[in-house]
Amino acid sequence: MKIAFYGTKPYDRIWFEPMGKEYGFDIHFIEAACDQETVFLAKGHDAICIFVNDYVDAGMIDALYEMNVKAILLRCAGYNNVDVKAAEDKITVLRVPSYSPEAVAEFSMAMLLSVARLTHKAYNRTRDFNMSLNGLMGMDLHEKTAGVIGTGKIGQAMIRILNGFQMEVVCYDPYPVEGLEAEYVSLEELFKSSDVISLHCPLNQETRHIVNDKSIASMKRGVYLVNTSRGGLIDTEALIRGMLDGRFGGVGLDVYEEEEGVFYEDRSGDIITDDNLARLMTFPNVLVTSHMGFFTRDAMQAIAQTTLENAYALENGLPLANQVGKEMTY
């Protein structure tokens, strides 16, 4: 199988290159992202491999189909960046539904601790030998109420961590899971009662801008918000209005709804034209990271393994457990 591997970074090759050889795949590593201008590079390949900031719309699906591309291999869990409906009966879409839920959950907790205890600010201060504590007062998490939106594998891992901090955990998901040490409540009740809110749901039509002006207005003043899932879950302009109104004690964002072309790139020498992102960076109680919650050695190895197993299954006519829309497990 020949695979066009879009959006290649050096750390991708570390895992995919040797594993690809073991499977006998011919992987063509392409640094450019997959978009309307680069889709032609897939010609002559059996599959393309894409990541979160690549996209494949209906027109690109048609182009890939005409080039006899058989599969879109997502090396991530989310698939909101692929027009899955357009791909039906044309191209098989395969994803990595689970790689290391703990990696993302642990990073979510790290972000929460950072914004709740301002360790990121303290780090920058003490490097200049500013040892003052002024402006660094934080909040205890012990016995506070944590709200988890989305109780898939990452959400479940986050709930276990939050329970370790002896927090009262409430959660919301339209598909409840039995046996969790958390109380399912309505979304409205979660927004209203939580001191901390962590987002772990997929991005789809129902969840886009689940955090908006209305939901922010219903939250406790001083609430802490963490998003390590998908940027589109938060209406950024509504978030900025809430920040200006003093609604949030702190916000941790590992994702951003307009992150394409910025996240995963070195833009330190550029003028950032995204006013909303630039504005978020000015708030002292906002921590932004570049969609790195998944980024551990364990997770990268699991992502490469599952992605290539998906390709192997397709090539050899085996059951496609991770086919989008037809997964055996969600």
What stretch of H or E contains 71? strand 71-74
| Sheet of 26-29, strand order | 26-29, 2-5, 47-50, 71-74, 92-94
Q: Within 13 Å and on the Cβ side, how many CA atoms surround 97?
A: 16
| DSSP label of 128 | T
Please say whether the beta carbons of 5 and 47 come within 8 A: no
Residue of 45, 209, 247, 291 with catalytic role:
291
Token readout for 170 is: 């409430």
Residue of 45, 200, 257, 259 with catalytic role:
259
What stretch of H or E contains 251? strand 248-253
Token readout for 9 is: 């970074």
Place of tokens 């040892």: 131
- Annotation says 291 is catalytic: yes
Task: Report the alpha-carbon distance of residue 10 to residue 295 in Å, rounded.
Answer: 13
Place of tokens 């006013």: 275
Task: Report the alpha-carbon distance of residue 100 to residue 24 in Å, rounded.
Answer: 26
- Annotation says 209 is catalytic: no
**Rg of the chain (C-alpha set):** 21
- Annotation says 230 is catalytic: yes
Residue of 45, 230, 247, 257 with catalytic role:
230
Active site (catalytic) residues: 230, 259, 291
